[in-house]
Structure 1
Amino acid sequence: MKHFIAIIIGVMILGGCGPQAETIQPLQVGNQTIVAQEKADEAKQILLSMEEVLEVKGVVNEQGIYLAPRVKHFDRFHLNDIRKRGHENVAKRFPKETVHVSTDKKIYMELEKLEQELKKKTISEKRFSTKLKELEEKMKG
């Protein structure tokens, strides 16, 4: 009986310690919207390649690229470093663009809403620009 319990416990431990591969693909907005979003889609992939990043929301307009990564729980202690490295990686790929990266959860949620509105085509170009200006101010302050 003791051997049976030991085997069961061993199987439970080994089964629970396997790699937990979580593959989250960002929303690909593309060029089917009022403002083409291919640069934002590519920038999201760049941030997703960082091991600390779980998910990314982002949009682009003529003023720049706006990104908000969602970071793993234990990596939240290093938000400044993650933000800085993410900004450098995206700026290296898009040197002519102004890149804005924020790890603020509120910015993440706002960008998620904008992505959805762009995808569903329920936002005008004027309102989109206004929302991005508001977000840029929040990212600075």
Structure 2
Amino acid sequence: MNIKQKIKMIAVLGMFVTGIAGCSSFGKTSPESRASMIQSVNPDPGATNDLEDKDLELAARVKKDIAGLDEIFDVAVIAGKDDTLVAYKVKHMERFHMKAIEKEINKMLEKNYPGENFIVSSDFKIFIEAVELRERMKDPAYPDKKAEKELQRIISLKKEMT
């Protein structure tokens, strides 16, 4: 083997290792969030403040409204102190109409829930983050302040993407 072949072999091996490392999540994702990549997981609506029943009721109503749309097949809703995150997945053949679907959802939410502040996202990463947060919130030992902080991080991530 000459030097050029060795360099090519090392480069290919380096790209392979980098690709494998980049695709792994190092155990950070929950089984439900991994499953959400290929199927509907239908996460329960949640609120960062468990003591506020009105927030949980709002999240449940919003989830029901959004899930009722024909174009949508999975919705995650988390109500926070000031904002409510609505992350959804669109059916495959409806992906061509993403802008129109988001516009329809925003219009429906403004009409049905005036005075509420919604952050709406069809981004898959935001959906997975919301599902993972919801899973952590199921643990009674997970503090509400930490849940709110994590929700705000996800919302800022959404705002960075736009």
TM over 0.5: yes
Structure 1 distance, partners of 2:115, 2:64, is: 18
Following superposition, which runs of at least 4 residues in structure 1 exceed 4 angstroms of deviation?
23-26, 28-32
Cα deviation, residue 35, structure 1: 5.1
SS at match of 1:51: coil
| RMSD of aligned residue pairs (Cα, Å) | 2.4
Q: Where does the alignment leave 5 or more consecutive residues of structure 1 unmatched?
A: 1-22
Structure 2 distance, partners of 1:136, 1:76, is: 22
Cα deviation, residue 115, structure 1: 1.7
In the alignment, structure 1 residue 96 sits paired with structure 2 residue 119: no
Cα deviation, residue 28, structure 1: 4.6
Where in structure 2 are the equivalents of 1:99-110 lying within 5 Å? 99-110=118-129
Is residue 35–residue 125 contact of structure 1 (8 Å, CA) maintained in 2?
no
In structure 1, the partner of 2:149 is 130
Cα deviation, residue 44, structure 1: 0.7
Cα deviation, residue 52, structure 1: 0.2
TM-score normalised according to structure 2 size: 0.65
- Structure 1 28/103 Cα, relative in aligned 2: closer, same or farther at 3 Å? closer
The number of aligned residues is 119
Deviations 1:52-102 (A, max 9, x none): 000100100121211111110111121111112112212222111101110
Of the three residues 78, 86, 96, the one matched with 1:67 is 86
Cα deviation, residue 122, structure 1: 4.2
Structure 1 distance, partners of 2:81, 2:119, is: 13
In the alignment, structure 1 residue 33 sits paired with structure 2 residue 44: no
In the alignment, structure 1 residue 83 sits paired with structure 2 residue 117: no
Cα deviation, residue 24, structure 1: 7.9
Code of the residue aligned with 2:102 in structure 1: it is: R
Name the % identity. Answer: 24
Structure 2 distance, partners of 1:120, 1:108, is: 20
In the alignment, structure 1 residue 49 sits paired with structure 2 residue 49: no
Structure 1 distance, partners of 2:112, 2:47, is: 18
- Structure 1 84/140 Cα, relative in aligned 2: closer, same or farther at 3 Å? same
Cα deviation, residue 131, structure 1: 0.9
Q: Where does the alignment leave 5 or more consecutive residues of structure 2 unmatched?
A: 1-39
TM-score normalised according to structure 1 size: 0.73
